[in-house]
Structure 1
Amino acid sequence: MDIQGIDLSIIWSVLIAFGIMMYVILDGFDLGLGILFPFISDSEERDVMMNTVAPVWDGNETWIVFGAAAMFGAFPLAYSLIFEALYLPLIFVLAGLILRGVAFEFRFKAEPEQRHIWDKAFIGGSVLATFFQGVALGTYVSGIPVVDRQFAGGAFDWFSPFPLFCGVGLVLTYALLGSTWLLIKTEGMLEARMRHFSRPLAYLLAWVIVITCGWTAFIHKDIAHRWFHGSHWLLTGGITVLAVIALYALQKSLRQRHSHQPFISTLGLVFLGYAGLVLSVWPNIVPPSIDLWEAASPTTSQLFALMGTLLILPVILMYTLWGYHVFRGKVKPGDAYH
């Protein structure tokens, strides 16, 4: 949709991609803490882990709401097709987020002898939400069958090896985000454990990325063609080189006991993976057959929603930045926000 040379569909695709990326970064390390919980048995250290995100965890989820609402307003066809195809995985994601949120609040109020119940709920909710986010992503990349602008697949299309493998991959990704986040926010034995966990997690994630890319190229010839067709091979090569550099920087910073650099390097890996996803499907918003402009709402609808978004988005950004600024620094045993 063009208005005096401005393509509103492109603008909306960038806004949606930004919102989803913010969610992956912010709620990623948040969910990663729950994934790491089984490896930390000390109750006081678990308290510290949860207190590193207690002031901000609910705000982190604002971004997925923003992304979904933006898609509903700007690309209603894509919204209906994607959510119908991913109905069950997204229900499991929602169930995991609800379970995790309830466990987060109730754990701090439970009697010590009952706290293990909410610990298990926190772990289960975090793993469930993360795994099925990865399953949804793998199903999306695999393609959503569409006939006459209607979803033509089945309710269990997601239940296949590639999406399930992507689910495992995202669990590892969020675990690495969580462990490197704790390097910034904790000290002592907990920080040492997270540094110990981060190195093998980084290598495992690197193998997962290699396998996922090879598997994608093997089963989706159109994506492989897009990676290496024309000038796209330069982008593909650039992303690959930068990913290797980010992995090297991550391992080097872990050996040198940096606090912030491992998390920054992990964010770089996540961002490059996200860039690779965009390169794989662009300009389709419902791969492999529905592009941005076919799925777009009328120009007046996009423009009206954009005016509201340009007012709300800076507020969300400022709130997020201010929250992390206020609660910066290390979290020590005994610190609490409940």
Structure 2
Amino acid sequence: MLDFSSWLDLPLIWGGLIAAAVFLYVLLDGFDLGCGILFPFARSDRERNRIMNSIAPFWDGNETWLVLGGGGLFAAFPVAYAVLMPAFYLPVILMLLGLIFRGVAFEFRFKTEGRDRKLWDISFHTGSLLAAFMQGVILGNIVQGVEVSGRSFAGGPLDWANGFAMFTGVALVFGYALLGATWLIWKLEGDAQAWARRMANYVFMFVVLGMVVVSASMPFIDAHIAGLWFSVPNIFLLAPIPMVTMAAFYLLWHDLQRPAERRPFLLTIFIFLMGYVGLLISLYPWIVPFRFTVWQAAAASSSQSLLLVGMLIFLPIILAYTAYSYYVFRGKTDDQSHY
């Protein structure tokens, strides 16, 4: 039986792969969910066409990373999957319904006119908003941890509906809106680009507030997190993360006041990356905070070895296809229907 466990730390490798897949999903699907969140605020149907055209070649491929993250959790960490899924059944279902509504809206909006198109405009916005909010709610509950008894979820069906999770849900909606706005600054031009820049300026302070509140709350959630960030020498080693993040916020704000096109989106990606790195540092080595580590929740090493072979084959293909699609559809977007 294939088994790499004698010379590879398979649980840690799989934890890293799933963490990378989740971040790629947040980044790539985040900007098109953000476009959907901003969609009804566009000033005309032509601008809404340009918004949809800017993400039409990518949106379904971006969701590959959600499947990879969820499937990897089920296959490589069955204990974590068995605990977390029952805890988040309703938010996950609502998130998937939102993604379904958004996907259906893509297919039908391009083929309808007049009053019927308004229905799909609403579906596109509502689905994007619901999916983004529920992802933030799930994040907030993972950060707090869930109630566990033995190897099973022991909480109630509405434990996820708490104040902190609601706040993280709203914060992620604004975060995705900033991603979407800076993406549109890159992809649009003229008056439409000026509108996207105004939207980015509007949501900017809400994103700053959300990141500050969530970051400041983390040390109070668990003593381990407080000790990690504020003990010596960790406080000096980890201080560059918030400092670099604040510098990125400053540069982004500066860029939003001048005719920069590409860098605002890249800076927003960097801000998301720094927030995600800080989150991973705070939660390491837990995969079910604060009950199971990646080693305690891991599948049998032979199973992880076999899965790793498949991942090493298909992951480069997925990455190459994704990079190629973004290369092919580079450049500005117009309002003509090409979908």
Listed one character per residue, the Cα deviations across residues 27-67 of structure 1 (whole Å, up to 9, x for unaligned) are 00000011001211300100000000111110000001011
- 2:75 pairs with 69, 73, 81, which one? 73
Q: Is the partner of 1:285 in helix, strand or coil?
A: strand
Distance 2:338 2:69 in 1: 28
Distance 1:216 1:11 in 2: 25
Q: Is the partner of 1:223 in helix, strand or coil?
A: helix
Question: In 1, are the aligned partners of 2:108 and 2:120 still within 8 Å (CA)?
Answer: yes
The alignment's TM-score, normalised by the length of structure 2, stands at 0.96
1:213 aligns with 2:215: yes
Distance 1:32 1:223 in 2: 30
Matching residue's letter, 2:220? F
1:102-117 equivalent positions in 2, closer than 5 A: 102-117=104-119
Matching residue's letter, 2:263? Q
Distance 1:259 1:154 in 2: 47
1:71-110 equivalent positions in 2, closer than 5 A: 71-110=73-112
Aligned equivalent of 2:199: 197
Listed one character per residue, the Cα deviations across residues 291-316 of structure 1 (whole Å, up to 9, x for unaligned) are 01000001100000000010010010
Question: In 2, are the aligned partners of 1:184 and 1:260 still within 8 Å (CA)?
Answer: yes
Q: Is the partner of 1:294 in helix, strand or coil?
A: coil
Q: Is the partner of 1:140 in helix, strand or coil?
A: helix
Aligned equivalent of 1:6: 8
Question: In 1, are the aligned partners of 2:4 and 2:305 still within 8 Å (CA)?
Answer: no
Aligned equivalent of 1:268: 270
C-alpha change, 1:246 and 1:101, in structure 2 (3 Å) is same
Q: Which moved more, 1:49-58 or 1:200-209?
A: 200-209
Listed one character per residue, the Cα deviations across residues 223-269 of structure 1 (whole Å, up to 9, x for unaligned) are 22222234432353111011111101111222231100000000011
Distance 1:12 1:231 in 2: 29
Q: Is the partner of 1:257 in helix, strand or coil?
A: coil
Question: In 1, are the aligned partners of 2:25 and 2:65 still within 8 Å (CA)?
Answer: yes
Distance 2:4 2:165 in 1: 36
Distance 1:119 1:236 in 2: 44
Matching residue's letter, 1:44? R
Aligned equivalent of 1:242: 244
Distance 2:107 2:39 in 1: 16
Matching residue's letter, 2:116? Q
Offset of 1:5 from its aligned partner? Answer: 3.3
- 1:163 pairs with 141, 147, 165, which one? 165
Residue segments in structure 1 that go unaligned for 5+ positions in a row = none
Aligned equivalent of 2:282: 280
Offset of 1:280 from its aligned partner? Answer: 1.3
Listed one character per residue, the Cα deviations across residues 205-239 of structure 1 (whole Å, up to 9, x for unaligned) are 11111111222333433322222234432353111
Matching residue's letter, 1:179? A
Matching residue's letter, 1:164? M
- 1:17 pairs with 7, 16, 19, which one? 19
Matching residue's letter, 1:158? W
What number of residue pairs does the alignment pair up? 337
Question: In 1, are the aligned partners of 2:182 and 2:196 still within 8 Å (CA)?
Answer: yes
Give % identity.
45
Matching residue's letter, 1:65? V
C-alpha change, 1:77 and 1:235, in structure 2 (3 Å) is farther
Q: Which moved more, 1:221-230 or 1:7-16?
A: 221-230
Matching residue's letter, 1:171? V
Distance 1:291 1:229 in 2: 22
Question: In 1, are the aligned partners of 2:4 and 2:302 still within 8 Å (CA)?
Answer: no
Question: In 2, are the aligned partners of 1:228 and 1:236 still within 8 Å (CA)?
Answer: no
Distance 2:56 2:272 in 1: 23
Aligned equivalent of 1:44: 46
Question: In 2, are the aligned partners of 1:76 and 1:297 still within 8 Å (CA)?
Answer: yes
Listed one character per residue, the Cα deviations across residues 6-27 of structure 1 (whole Å, up to 9, x for unaligned) are 1011111111011111100100
Distance 2:4 2:230 in 1: 30
Q: Is the partner of 1:309 in helix, strand or coil?
A: helix
Question: In 1, are the aligned partners of 2:5 and 2:305 still within 8 Å (CA)?
Answer: no
The alignment's TM-score, normalised by the length of structure 1, stands at 0.97
Q: CA RMSD in A?
A: 1.4
Matching residue's letter, 1:292? V
- 1:328 pairs with 306, 316, 330, which one? 330
Distance 2:211 2:4 in 1: 37
Q: Is the partner of 1:295 in helix, strand or coil?
A: coil
Aligned equivalent of 2:149: 147
